[in-house]
A and B are shown apart, each in its own frame.
Chain A
Amino acid sequence: MSEHRLTSVGIDVGTTTTQVVVSELEVREPAGAGKLEIVSREIRYRGTIHETPLSGPETVDIDAVARIVEDELAAARVEPSGIETGAVIVTGETARKDNAEALVHRIASEGGEFVAAAAGPALEAVLAGQGSGAATRAKERGEIVANADVGGGTTNVALFDADGVRDTRCLDVGGRLVRFDSEGAITGVSEAIRGLADDLGVDLEPGTEPSTEDLDRLAGAMADCVIDAITGPPFSDRTASLAIGSLPTDPIEVDGVAFTGGVGRLVHGDPTDPFEYADLGPTLAAAIRERAAELPLLDLDETIRATVVGAGTRTTELSGRTVEVDESLLPLRNLPAMGVGDLPEEDLETRLEGVIGEATERYGPDEPVVLAIDDVGPLTYDRLTRVAAAIDTVWTADGGGRPLLVLTRQNCAKALGQALRRRSDGRPLAVIDEVGVADGEYLDIGRPLDGGETVPVVVKTLAF
């Protein structure tokens, strides 16, 4: 097989907006690569930007989102059955809604056979930077590029270098955290921002009309944290208190900064009516714009659609060209990865028992997990035989409920897979190589691309 095209969908259900893009991924084997790679990504259809439909303050209207997706796919002239890969991501505050999990799983399963469900601010940060073009710029120029995705509910910053993602910093800062009616009176305030408001002595009582000065102070403090998140470490206490997850500790100097997301887009543009979107967005954007004057600002390809473009074009990876899988197992979805690290030279069983014990504790007995091995050791016959025997012993002792699912970074899936199959007594099996995944991440594995064995893989986080 020399060339193949994959139709991929990206769906982003964010705090404020819901978006759909359809793209085409070109798969080929670049000279000397020894494996298939995605060599180009073309957006075929850019959907309209819809307001995320809510059916209550803490619930997303799943049926309405499903209708948006259905209509957009019809407008793009693609059948769900024609969609081969992609991702649905719930982002910002939407990820914290009561029915977020049900939402992504439903949309993913209706979106096409192999559309992944994903969530989590760090993933969102990375996808936005990949969608905007920040990652490509970092790679092409060997620079450190920060992508700050400022949306309705959260701000997610990802720093890229030539090798990929350096780190991410995520904050509870967004334009929709304070909402107004047409008169400028407050209609809603998100919990996440109350602490900061109290700290500043800004009264956000619903029904009241805060002064411009108070709103500027609030937006100014939020903007300070956004800039701090880009230029730190070190970070101010206030930034740390708004952080979602951990913040990095090693200082890095950035060469370029791009703002994306609904609010991020306004940073690049001219000032707008502060209440145009009935929220704090334009005020926050203006405050960031003022403070960002000192930063090396970049104008990249995508702003408001950065995350959805990232979800649609960057989530799929391809495995090595030869793998060992029972096709009846595929597609596999939402498999938790158990990081094994580098396999030790001796006492493989002890290490693997530990990992399987941990899997039972985390996910329950017999729940499928993928054993993610960084380094199996030297790729020799004796070593692979030894590793296969150890995995089989530990799996058998575990009770036999779990399929044998193994992922390696080195190119050895077929050899290890055959050695396992010989021992495993007909137990279903999938061994896939040349993909890296970290402990606690999740994995979707699709059916082989036609004419070969290469399988599409989506590595993701699920933060429910």
Chain B
Amino acid sequence: MSDKRAKDRLDGPRDPDLLERITDRNPSRLGVGRAGSRPRTDTLLEFRADHGIARDAVLTNVDEGFIEETGLVKIGTLIEDTEEYLARPDRGREISAETAEYLREHCEEGPEVQLVVADGLSSSAVEANVPDLLPILLDGLADRDLRVGTPVFVEYGRVDVMDAIGEELDADCCVILIGERPGLASAESLSAYLVYGPERGGPTAKKSVISNIHQGGLPPVEAGAQLVDLIAEMCERERSGIDLREDDREFVTD
């Protein structure tokens, strides 16, 4: 989006180089000028357009063809539609008994690593990043001789649905690639949340996260490679989240 914004700069700045250095620093709406006390028409339209993109990312669904091509087993949560998804995060974390049954039928049970992809709050993030991230991740996990289960796609999923899936499939470790809540700078940002020993109701402190995955942030290929190392470390040390970084923290007693 920032290249689109480039035209929308102050007219006749005294020091264009300086302005460019400031506006290049981050994708915020800097140096966009004003019309009286209001934003200029261009700026306002762009803001609306970006907002529209963010809303679309939340409100649209991941393309069926994409899920099939990627070879993911598709399931749902307890959620019926987008409205309910937004209103009831709790129902986005759970799967029905039938879905659990379906999972066990179609997926390998007891894997060392269970991979889950979920739309979360941005279906665009999934479509934009998963095609480059997933193959790097699968290559890397194969190099480490880790037994990877059947990758699953969850529609209307929240982060903690990974606990339900991991528990049902009896996975040692579960990883979910999920669309982040979109901002006005990027609607294509993905996160990976990881947990060792997934169980329903487990504390967030036991989860690890790598966020801001998109071409303008942490590139999806590099994120995939980082996840390989992190997953290998989790499996080796049999822990995740804060427990994994325990030795980094200094506790002062007495």
Q: Which residues of A contact B (CB under 8 A)?
A: 1, 32, 34, 142, 162-163, 322, 324, 379-381, 384, 410-415, 417-419, 421-422, 451
Whether B143 lies near A415 (C-beta < 8 A) is no
Whether B218 lies near A379 (C-beta < 8 A) is no
Q: State the Cβ distance, A161 to closest chain B Cβ, in Å.
A: 9
Can you list, as one digit per residue, whether each of B4-21 has a CB less than 8 Å from chain A (1) or not (0)? 000000000001011001
Whether B221 lies near A384 (C-beta < 8 A) is yes
Whether B222 lies near A412 (C-beta < 8 A) is yes
Can you list, as one digit per residue, whether each of B212-225 has a CB less than 8 Å from chain A (1) or not (0)? 10010111111011
A142-B18, A410-B219, A418-B136 given as contacts; is B131 within 8 A of A381 (CB)? yes
Contact of B21 among A142, A415, A419, A421 (CB under 8 A): A142
Q: State the Cβ distance, B151 to closest chain A Cβ, in Å.
A: 15
Q: Can you offer 21 A-B residue contacts whose CB atoms are under 8 A?
A: A34-B212, A142-B17, A142-B18, A162-B21, A163-B21, A379-B132, A379-B219, A379-B220, A379-B222, A380-B132, A381-B221, A411-B219, A411-B222, A415-B136, A415-B222, A417-B225, A418-B136, A418-B139, A418-B143, A418-B228, A419-B136
Whether B139 lies near A419 (C-beta < 8 A) is yes
Q: Give the complex CA separation of A419 and B138 in angstroms.
A: 12
Determine the residue in chain A with the shortest Cβ distance to B134: A381
Q: Which residues of B contact A (CB under 8 A)?
A: 15, 17-18, 21, 26, 131-132, 135-136, 139-140, 143, 212, 215, 217-222, 224-226, 228-229, 248
A142-B21, A418-B136, A418-B228 given as contacts; is B221 within 8 A of A412 (CB)? yes
CB-CB under 8 A from A414, the residues of chain B are 222, 225-226, 229
Determine the residue in chain B with the shortest Cβ distance to A321: B226
Whether A421 lies near B15 (C-beta < 8 A) is no
Contact of B215 among A379, A413, A419 (CB under 8 A): A379
18 new A-B contacts at CB < 8 Å, known A163-B21, A379-B215: A34-B217, A142-B15, A142-B17, A162-B18, A322-B225, A379-B222, A380-B221, A381-B135, A381-B136, A381-B221, A411-B222, A412-B221, A414-B229, A415-B224, A415-B225, A418-B136, A418-B139, A418-B225
Contact of A1 among B131, B135, B215, B248 (CB under 8 A): B248
Whether B215 lies near A34 (C-beta < 8 A) is no
Q: Give the complex CA separation of A415 and B17 in angstroms.
A: 35
The 6 closest A-B pairs by CB, nearest first: A414-B225, A415-B225, A415-B221, A379-B219, A381-B132, A381-B135
CB-CB under 8 A from A324, the residues of chain B are 225
Determine the residue in chain B with the shortest Cβ distance to A32: B26
CB-CB under 8 A from B224, the residues of chain A are 381, 415
CB-CB under 8 A from A380, the residues of chain B are 132, 221
Q: Interface residues of A: mostly helix, strand, loop or mixed?
A: loop
Q: Give the complex CA separation of A162 and B132 in angstroms.
A: 36
Q: Give the complex CA separation of A162 and B18 in angstroms.
A: 9
Q: Give the complex CA separation of A322 and B15 in angstroms.
A: 37
CB-CB under 8 A from A422, the residues of chain B are 139, 143
Determine the residue in chain A with the shortest Cβ distance to B22: A142
Whether A421 lies near B143 (C-beta < 8 A) is yes
Q: State the Cβ distance, A253 to closest chain B Cβ, in Å.
A: 14
Q: State the Cβ distance, A406 to closest chain B Cβ, in Å.
A: 14
A142-B15, A322-B225, A418-B225 given as contacts; is B219 within 8 A of A412 (CB)? yes
Determine the residue in chain A with the shortest Cβ distance to B221: A415
Q: Give the complex CA separation of A32 and B217 in angstroms.
A: 10
Q: State the Cβ distance, A37 to closest chain B Cβ, in Å.
A: 14
Whether A34 lies near B143 (C-beta < 8 A) is no
Determine the residue in chain A with the shortest Cβ distance to B247: A451
Determine the residue in chain B with the shortest Cβ distance to A453: B229
Determine the residue in chain B with the shortest Cβ distance to A1: B248
Determine the residue in chain B with the shortest Cβ distance to A433: B222
A322-B226, A414-B222 given as contacts; is B248 within 8 A of A451 (CB)? yes
Contact of B17 among A162, A322, A421 (CB under 8 A): A162
CB-CB under 8 A from B21, the residues of chain A are 142, 162-163
CB-CB under 8 A from A142, the residues of chain B are 15, 17-18, 21
CB-CB under 8 A from B248, the residues of chain A are 1, 451
Q: Give the complex CA separation of A411 and B219 in angstroms.
A: 7
Q: Give the complex CA separation of A162 and B20 in angstroms.
A: 11
Q: Give the complex CA separation of A340 and B224 in angstroms.
A: 26
Determine the residue in chain B with the shortest Cβ distance to A421: B143
CB-CB under 8 A from A421, the residues of chain B are 143
Q: State the Cβ distance, A218 to closest chain B Cβ, in Å.
A: 41
Q: State the Cβ distance, A352 to closest chain B Cβ, in Å.
A: 20
